[in-house]
């Protein structure tokens, strides 16, 4: 009932994207209504309602409907500068990807990752205004920002542990790469989720082609993982250490050349970090 109401009122299939009747939804109270509707759909996909056979079918229907008929509207909203709207759109996309492996694969194939301004969302952090009081700033700094939800969306494609799907996701420019860039500046809990997901769904995925792993764990990626070794959060630094130890072990070398290439890449990643981190990586390579 909720999903039907949302689609009929705010995602009318018969209206063109440029239809004047959509104008009220672009500003004022209309914008808040659109945000609320998308958030409601995201809640459906995030399993925030009682589970049941009908709920599962509704969730799959909502995901399929958005994916097949309403991506253009989401593209439009993803171009906004309103953080709240951006966040609910990313939640909805993550929900679609998390509904089923088939829908996740379809989303990966059809979504326009080259959409102008989309990659910028990976850098859209929450910044506390200098004029605000320290107490309020500490509370606001703990809120989920756009970057955090971008990270959840990017990592959602890895959860299925499907070699083809994972390879495709890793190969999209600035998707997982956007998550890794600035990883050391993320809250420890958020960075820990990234490290654990990559460890479990990439490094330890035995069916994932070796060449895909070699391509992904280049100097850029390793530099950002190395930067976590000096984190004050012991759990995070320990997880990063574990990941870096398992990267070489997860590959099966068929030639000395391939092994040498990996060692060079690992060395470059280590040298880009601090001397202390570099020494640690060198020990792991022996």
Question: pLDDT tens per residue, the chain (286 residues)?
Answer: 455 545 554 454 433 434 444 444 455 556 889 999 999 999 999 987 766 667 788 899 999 999 999 999 999 999 999 999 999 999 999 999 999 999 999 999 999 999 999 999 999 998 655 555 455 445 454 579 999 999 999 999 999 999 999 999 999 999 999 999 999 999 999 999 999 999 999 999 999 999 999 999 999 999 999 999 999 999 999 999 999 999 988 876 555 545 555 555 555 555 555 555 555 555 555 5
- Distance between CA atoms of residues 68 and 64, nearest Å: 6
| Residue range 183-225, pLDDT digits in tens | 999 999 999 999 999 999 999 999 999 999 999 999 999 999 9
- Distance between CA atoms of residues 247 and 242, nearest Å: 9
265 and 219 Cβ atoms separated by less than 8 Å: yes
Measuring CA to CA, which residue among 117, 114, 123, 115 is closest to residue 151?
Answer: 123
Global confidence as pTM: 0.81
Q: For residue 41, with 0-12 CB atoms within 10 Å meaning exposed, 13-18 middle and 19 or more buried, which class applies?
A: buried
Domain ranges of the chain: 1-159, 182-286
Q: Which residues contact 88 (CB under 8 A, 6 or more apart)?
A: 35, 38, 39, 42
Q: For residue 194, with 0-12 CB atoms within 10 Å meaning exposed, 13-18 middle and 19 or more buried, which class applies?
A: buried
- Distance between CA atoms of residues 248 and 2, nearest Å: 49
- What pLDDT score does 51 carry? 67
Helices (H), 113-255: 134-140, 146-156, 163-170, 176-180, 188-198, 210-216, 219-226, 234-249
């Amino acid at each position: 009932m909720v999903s039907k109401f949302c689609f009929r009122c705010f995602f009318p299939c018969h209206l063109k994207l440029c239809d004047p009747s959509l104008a009220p939804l672009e500003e004022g109270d209309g914008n808040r209504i659109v945000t609320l509707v998308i958030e409601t759909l995201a809640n459906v996909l995030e399993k925030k309602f009682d589970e049941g056979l009908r709920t599962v079918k509704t969730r799959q229907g909502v995901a399929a409907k958005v994916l097949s008929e309403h991506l253009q509207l989401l593209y439009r909203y993803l171009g906004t500068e309103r953080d709240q709207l951006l966040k609910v759109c990313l939640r909805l996309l993550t929900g679609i990807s998390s509904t089923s492996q088939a829908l996740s694969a379809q989303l990966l194939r059809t979504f326009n990752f080259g959409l102008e301004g989309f990659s910028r969302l990976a850098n859209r952090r929450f910044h506390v205004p200098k004029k605000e009081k320290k107490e309020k700033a500490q509370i606001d700094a703990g809120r989920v920002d756009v970057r955090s939800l971008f990270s959840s969306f990017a990592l959602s494609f890895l959860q299925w542990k499907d070699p083809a799907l994972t390879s495709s996701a890793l190969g999209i420019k600035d998707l997982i790469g956007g998550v890794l860039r600035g990883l050391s500046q993320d809250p420890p809990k958020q960075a820990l989720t990234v490290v654990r997901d990559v460890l479990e769904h990439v490094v330890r995925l035995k069916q994932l082609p070796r060449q895909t792993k070699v391509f992904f764990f280049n100097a850029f990626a390793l530099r950002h993982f190395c930067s976590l070794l000096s984190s004050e959060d012991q759990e995070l630094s320990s997880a990063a250490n574990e990941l870096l130890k398992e990267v070489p072990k997860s590959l099966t070398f068929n030639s000395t050349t391939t092994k040498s290439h990996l060692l060079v890449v690992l060395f470059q990643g280590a040298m880009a970090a601090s001397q202390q981190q570099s020494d640690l990586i060198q020990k792991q390579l022996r």
